[in-house]
Amino acid sequence: MKEKSANSVWNNCLEIIKDNVSAQSFKTWFEPIRPVELEESVLTIQVPSQFFYEWLEEHYVALLRKTIKRELGNSARLEYRIVVENSNANVPSTVDYPNQNSGNNQNPEVGFPYFLSGNQIKNPFVIPGLKKINVDPQLNSNYNFDSLVEGDCNRLARSAGYAVAQKPGGTAFNPLVIYGGVGLGKTHLAQAIGNEVKANFPNKTVLYVSSEKFTNQFFDAVKNNSVNDFVHFYQLIDVLLVDDIQFFGNKEKTQDIFFHIFNHLHQNGKQLVLTTDRPPRDLEGMEERLLSRFKWGLSADLQVPDFETRIAILEKKMYADGIELPREVVEFVAYNINTNVRELEAALISLLAQASLNKKEVDLDLAKKIIKNFVKSISREVSIDYIQKTVCDYFTVPVDMLREKTRKRMIVQARQLSMFLAKNYTKNSLKFIGKNFG
Ligand code: ADP
Ligand code: MG
């Protein structure tokens, strides 16, 4: 009897709600609701998750209040019952899922993506009671801490990342926000954290995802009416690595859903690692509440590596690939490619490709020819460092000597020549140049 009246009251509400929200929203957020009880003027509705409830409260509370008052008078109230298991009426009872019937495999490997495809449900959440899933973490094992050369450019970010990987969710670095320009190692570091966590804690659920992929998955979930499944999936992750979150800029709905996932994970002591191409404060089109969350943890930047680090990176790469190159070639490349690490690697690869194509040893001449394609012109702006080094090589005097107060002829000449070149071939001010010469 009561159930029936709960039903009829709710159906009347739905009629009104339908006219006030988009068809898509209606399908996503109202169709899954089940009216369960009507007690005086309190209507209890059943929703499939905590998240679902929060979403309704956040986005539809006014509408819900208005409609329910219309039906049940001014003292009307709405209560929620959250039933997580198998409550989604849109989910067919048969689940296409490997081994799910075997009973002893509670933790099957989950493909990715795992959302609705056609009529088949690939989502493990519809398996009642499944609390933990075995997710493919989407990690490339080459991106590890070993292969990530340390330098002044990345020391803070790298060590914070390492600390996080030893104790995910258990440091003050949550979220850890890594920011820096293109090709400076954000993805590498995020992946290294994931790999390190997996090595330390094989049972932890780690997931690397680009913001773009996250966004697309979310859109698909909306389209397929499986937003709940989407959110549930992400809420089961122990260490979530989200790359390039600047991509969330001006995407309100995605930010909204990410905000909820973020909160859930953070509250439950799960680790978040985010990367962005600029400092969080400069992120455009990002909700304030999300930005304020980022401040809870640590933001660490990645800078362009200095000359020595660039050499170390090249050497590491060569060693890993079993390549040997003359020292002067390595130095030449490191001197001239000073924008980012990706370009540095690309220069090395193209050098090797050319060499093998021409069946030639890589020597400085070849390097000069190849590198020319990389930098607009080799004689473009050069750095003071480079000038000093070249000049000192020529005079065979140590670079340090340029700064010393000495009257030795050789040094004086080297210093004068370097200063002359610096003045004419760099954009540095005389004051700055002077500083560089002690
Ligand atoms: P981003 O994500 O910041 O654009 P990536 O992480 O993709 O940059 O890095 C670009 C390339 O440079 C990758 O191949 C990466 O392995 C390499 N790289 C970046 N920083 C370092 C480093 N410190 N040591 C070794 N390789 C690096
Ligand atoms: Mg990247």
Cβ–Cβ under 8 Å, residues 189 and 148: yes
Number of H helices, E strands in the chain: 17, 10
Residue, of 389 and 180, whose pLDDT is higher: 180
Chain segment 279-310, per-residue pLDDT in tens? 999 999 999 999 999 989 999 999 999 999 99
pLDDT-above-90 percentage for the chain: 49
Q: Residue 112: what pLDDT?
A: 42
The set of protein residues with a Cβ atom below 6 angstroms from ligand 1 is 147-149, 154, 180, 182-188, 313, 341-342, 345
How many angstroms separate the CA atoms of 223 and 24, rounded?
8
Residue-level pLDDT at 395: 84
The pLDDT value recorded for residue 133 is: 65
Give the integer Cα–Cα distance in Å for 207 and 192: 12
Under the banding of pLDDT at 50, 70 and 90, the label for residue 204 is very high
Tell me the pTM. Answer: 0.68
* Residue 115 CB contacts under 8 Å (≥ 6 apart), including other chains: 122, 123, 217, 220, 221, 224, 226, 229, 230, 233
Among 143, 153, 188, 195, which residue has the most ligand 1 atoms within 8 Å of its CB, making it the best to mutate?
Answer: 188
The atom of ligand 1 lying closest to the CA of 184 is 3
Query: What pLDDT score does 95 carry?
Result: 32
- Exposed (0-12), middle (13-18) or buried (19+): which is 141, by Cβ within 10 Å? exposed
Ligand 1 midpoint to CA 381 (Å): 25
- Residue of the CA atom closest to atom 16 of ligand 1: 188
Pair 235, 266: CB distance under 8 Å: no
Strand 176-180 to strand 271-276: parallel, antiparallel, or no bridges (unpaired)?
A: parallel
Taking the CA of residue 180 as reference, the ligand 1 atom at the shortest distance is 3
135 three-class SS? strand
In angstroms, rounded to a whole number, what is the distance separating the alpha carbons of residues 219 and 262?
A: 18
One-letter amino acid of 263:
N
- Give burial (CB, 10 Å; 0-12/13-18/19+) of 409: exposed
CB of 418 closer than 8 Å to CB of 385: no
CA nearest to 187, candidates 302, 45, 291: 302
Residue type, 237: I
The dihedral region occupied by 302, where left means phi > 0, alpha psi between -120 and 50, and beta the remainder, is beta
Find all residues with CB under 8 Å of 274, minimum gap 6, and list them.
Answer: 175, 176, 177, 178, 241, 242, 245, 294
Task: Transcribe 277-343 into DSSP letters.
Answer: SS-GGG-TT--HHHHHHHTTSEEEEE----HHHHHHHHHHHHHHHT----HHHHHHHHHH--S-HHH
Nearest-CA residue for ligand 1 atom 25 is 148
pLDDT of residue 367: 87
211-270 tens-digit pLDDT: 999 999 999 999 998 898 899 899 999 999 999 999 999 999 999 999 999 999 999 999
**Spatial separation of the C-alpha atoms in residues 422 and 284, rounded to whole Å:** 39
pLDDT at 176 exceeding the cut of 50: yes
pLDDT score recorded for residue 404: 81
Ordered structural domains, the chain, with CATH: 6-82 (3.30.300.180), 155-302 (3.40.50.300), 307-371 (1.10.8.60), 386-436 (1.10.1750.10)
| DSSP assignment string, 145-203 | TTTS---TTTHHHHHHHHHHHHSTTSSS-SSEEEEESTTSSHHHHHHHHHHHHHHH-TT
241 CA from centroid of ligand 2 (Å)? 12
More confident residue, 347 or 108: 347
Mean pLDDT computed over every residue of the chain: 84
Q: How many CB atoms lie within 10 A of CB 321?
A: 10
Parallel, antiparallel, or unpaired for β 271-276 and 134-135? unpaired
The rounded Å distance from CA 187 to ligand 2 centre is 4
Contact assessment for residue 273 and residue 241, using Cβ atoms and an 8 Å cutoff: yes
* Cα distance between residue 21 and residue 5, in whole Å: 24
- Look at residue 420 in the predicted model and tell me its pLDDT: 82
424 or 241, higher pLDDT: 241
Counting ligands in written order, the one closest to the CA of 349 is 1
Closest-lying ligand 1 atom to the alpha carbon of residue 309: 23
Q: Which ligand is nearest to the CA of 210?
A: 2
**Confidence (pLDDT) at 377:** 44
**Ligand nearest to the CA of residue 140, numbered in listed order:** 1
188 or 110: which leads in pLDDT: 188
The per-residue pLDDT for 152 is 95
pLDDT at 391: 86
Euclidean distance between CA atoms 29 and 279, whole angstroms: 35
CA 246 to CA 173: how far, in whole Å?
20
Cβ 145 vs Cβ 192: under 8 Å: yes
